[in-house]
């Protein structure tokens, strides 16, 4: 019987790879390890369900993790922007562990990143004593930054 053995990557569809790399690579510190400006492989087209897909794909290493972030910019067919408000079904986020949330918050604020919340102290529940915030990447994708209790 087959079973899940782990995770490999989280994937986000983005509208402008240059802008997304400026956020994830330059501001967040992720490392690009694969960049394919024109993915048109038959297998890829079959997986995503678009027989004529042309996609700009980038894989990034998440600091301190074996998990990978995959960014896909569909050159063809282009999609439409979704409403990624946290309460909408289908909306999702990934939480990145940080060592100093306040410091990162100040740095990203200066870069004019859109925040859903400032750093919030977690005063109850399983993460009591930690800090967290939600922000939006350039496409409105929700990102959580989490600092555990110390």
Using alpha carbons only, how large is the chain's radius of gyration in Å?
17
Residues 116, 16: Cα–Cα separation, whole Å:
22
- The pTM score is 0.94
* C-beta separation of 57 from 21 below 8 A: no
pLDDT tens for the chain, 150 residues long, are 899 999 999 999 999 999 999 999 999 999 999 999 999 999 999 999 999 999 999 999 999 999 999 999 999 999 999 999 999 999 999 999 999 999 999 999 999 999 999 999 999 999 999 999 999 999 999 999 999 998
Using the CB atoms, write b or e for 75-89: b if 16+ within 10 Å: eeeeeeeeebeeeee
């Amino acid at each position: 019987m087959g079973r899940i053995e782990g995770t490999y990557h989280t994937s986000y569809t983005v509208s402008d790879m240059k802008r997304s790399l400026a956020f994830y690579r330059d501001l967040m510190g992720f490392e690009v390890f694969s960049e394919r400006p024109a993915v048109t492989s038959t297998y890829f087209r079959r997986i995503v369900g678009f027989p004529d897909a042309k996609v700009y794909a980038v894989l990034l290493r998440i600091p301190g993790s074996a998990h990978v972030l995959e960014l896909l910019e569909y050159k063809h067919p282009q999609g439409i922007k979704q409403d990624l408000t946290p309460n909408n079904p289908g909306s999702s986020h990934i939480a990145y562990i940080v060592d100093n949330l306040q410091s990162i918050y100040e740095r990203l604020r200066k870069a004019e990143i859109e925040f859903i919340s400032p750093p919030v102290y977690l005063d109850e529940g399983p993460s009591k004593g930690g800090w967290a915030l939600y922000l939006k990447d350039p496409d409105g994708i929700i990102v959580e930054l989490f600092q555990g209790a110390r």
